[in-house]
Amino acid sequence: MKKILIADSGATKTDWLFVDGELHKFYRTGGLHPAFLDEEADAADLKVELSDAIPDELWFFGTGLGNSESDQKMSAFLTTVFPTAKIHVKSDLEGSARAFFGSGHGVVAILGTGSICAKVESGRPVRQSAALGFAIGDEGSAAHLGQKILRGYYRNQFSEETHDFLKRNLEPENYGDMMARIYQSDKPNRELASLAGEILEKSVPDELNFLIKEAFKEFIEQQLAMLDLSGNERIIFTGKVADAHQDKIIDVMNEAGFSDVEVRYPMIESFLERVKSRSIKFW
């Protein structure tokens, strides 16, 4: 039986599942986005972190993929790490579609460092939103939440209670240092997402809970609306933001007329379920 390695990669982290017959093992490493690869350093890290995972076949599902230039760049990079493996590179939407729906139908929505969604038919994404990245879109994502928090704070748009809460918890709080943290970073989307996580993992003022819901409403209006849904579809959300705020996302979706909504995270566990039941079929 082939030894198979499956990866679900976002901008911040990558989950791996190594399957060798009846044996399996999970790994977690840093995110691997084609636009932000440090090929030498990232390859060196992976060779250490996945040293005991030597696959015959690698299925890599990641954010920023799904176009020939990015796919070729990622495939070439992975070949340096796994030189003997047959490598397949697909988008994170394709991975979510196959992990959650098998050969079925529905909608997948990813809310992590970035955000995107797609309608799924027969296990394949057939229509997807235009995510546009953290600088333009990515509504409902961690990076988007980080933007909204900083904008409201530095432009004095929050109540005194919320402003004081953020003053105590922003790191660094000083405007110049914060701008340096974001704009001098090699991965500003990851910095914005990290900032949102640092703030929103706490018990927050009601105004910030409202901000989160408003971001999810923007995701529905800007991205989910592109799929031309009837409201009867089964919709599965995944990603760290969806997992951390699943009650809010389900409430907002219900208010928007979608009743069959579920959050499943991490995606890699759904792949394991399908491997165990032998219901997985790759392309």
Rg over alpha carbons for the chain, rounded to the nearest Å, is 19
* pLDDT bracket for residue 240 (50, 70, 90): very high
Question: Contact at 8 Å (CB) between 26 and 15?
Answer: yes
* pLDDT bracket for residue 279 (50, 70, 90): low
Q: Is the per-residue pLDDT at 12 higher than 90?
A: no
Helix, strand, coil percentages (3-state) for the chain, rounded to 5, are: 45, 20, 35
Q: Report the distance separating Cα 161 and Cα 153, nearest Å.
A: 11
H-run or E-run covering 16: strand 13-20
Question: Contact at 8 Å (CB) between 144 and 200?
Answer: no
Question: Contact at 8 Å (CB) between 3 and 19?
Answer: yes
What confidence score (pLDDT) does residue 281 get?
58
Whether the predicted model's global pTM rises above the 0.85 cut: yes
Closest by Cα among 130, 155, 143 to 240 = 143
**Where do we find the tokens 């990851």?**
190
Phi (first) and psi of residue 224, to 5 degrees:
-60, -35
CA atoms within a 13 Å half-sphere pointing along the CA-CB vector of 39: 10
Go through the domains of the chain in sequence order and give each one's CATH number: 3-97+267-277 (3.30.420.40)
* pLDDT bracket for residue 121 (50, 70, 90): very high
Distances (CA, A) of 158 to 176, 245, 272: 20, 21, 44
What confidence score (pLDDT) does residue 68 get?
92
